[in-house]
Structure 1
Amino acid sequence: MARLLAIDYGTKRTGIAVTDEFQIIASGLTTVNTKELLAFLKDYTTKEKVELFVIGEPKQMNNKVSESEADILPFIEKLKKAIPDIPIVRVDERFTSKMAFQTMIDSGLKKNQRKNKALVDEISATIILQSYMSSKH
């Protein structure tokens, strides 16, 4: 089997999470400067087998797509051209940032550690990946 890789896309930073090869456990991998995201993904997929990209789909409470979707769609087109062999699925990411922040509180991180936006992005990507994995079973 190969890994699943989740992307919590942001205009400045992007959180990345991956599964193990058996697709049992989702873990935060890193946060990447969005300008370097495509290069990072190309490099990562040459070193690790990735079966699927799971990309967060920001929606508003009324189920309409969020404004940030305008930034995500061009990235997805670039990703399809750069790495055409790996399919892409989208996952509703409506509450992931709030859930990530709550996860940080629940795990006992201090207030100054919770201000680390890169960590929030990485945890958000992990939640997106877990959400996708749960929907498959």
Structure 2
Amino acid sequence: MGRILAIDFGKVRTGIAVTDELQIIASGLTTVATKDLIPFLKDYIQKENVELFVLGEPKQMDNSASESEALITPFIEKLSKQIPTIPIHRVDERFTSKMAFQTMIDSGLKKKQRRNKALVDEISATIILQSYLYNK
């Protein structure tokens, strides 16, 4: 089995999380500048066996697409063309940023550390991935 890689897509930065090869444990990997995301993913899949991309799907409370979906749709099209061999699965990402922030509080991070938006994005990607693993 290959790894599953989760993407918490953002306009400026994107959080990334991956599973182990047995697809049991989700771990934060890094945060990448969104402009460098496709080259990062291409490089990563040359080093690691990735069998699925899981991408957060931002939704409003009424289940309609959020405004940021307008940025994600072109990215998905580009990703599908650049890396056509790896399928993409979408996962509802409502509340992941709030859950990530709460995780940081619960783990005892100081206020200054909790302001690190890159860490929030990485934790959000991990929560998206855990959600996928739990529901698959």
Which TM-score tier does this pair reach, normalised by the shorter chain? over 0.9
Deviations 1:70-109 (A, max 9, x none): 0000000000001000000000000100000000000000
Structure-2 separation of matches of 1:58 and 1:129: 14
Matches of 1:78 and 1:47, distance apart in 2: 21
What letter corresponds to residue 69 of structure 2 in structure 1?
E
Q: What is the CA distance between 1:127 and its match in structure 2?
A: 0.1
SS in structure 2 at match of 1:130: helix
Letter in 1 for 2:5: L
The one-letter code matched in structure 2 to 1:65 is A
- Corresponding residue for 1:10? 10
Could you tell me how far apart the structure 2 residues matched to 1:48 and 1:81 are?
20
Give the total of aligned pairs. Answer: 136
Could you tell me which residue of structure 1 aligns to residue 69 of structure 2? 69
Gaps of 5+ in 2: none
Mapped partners of 1:85, 1:125: distance in 2: 22
Query: Partner of 1:21 in structure 2?
Result: 21
Q: Distance in 1 between matches of 2:34 and 2:109?
A: 26
Cross-structure match for 2:126: 126
User: Structure 1 stretches of 5 or more lacking a match?
Assistant: none
**Aligned alpha-carbon RMSD (Å):** 0.3
Following superposition, which runs of at least 4 residues in structure 1 exceed 2 angstroms of deviation?
none
State the alpha-carbon separation in 2 of the partners of residues 99 and 5 from structure 1.
Answer: 19
Aligned to 1:97, the other structure's residue is in SS state helix
TM-score computed with the length of structure 1 as normaliser? 0.99
Normalization by structure 2: what TM-score? 1.00
Q: What is the distance in 2 between the residues matched to 1:46 and 1:83?
A: 11
SS at match of 1:43: helix
Percent identical pairs in the alignment equals 79
**Counterpart in the other structure of 1:54:** 54
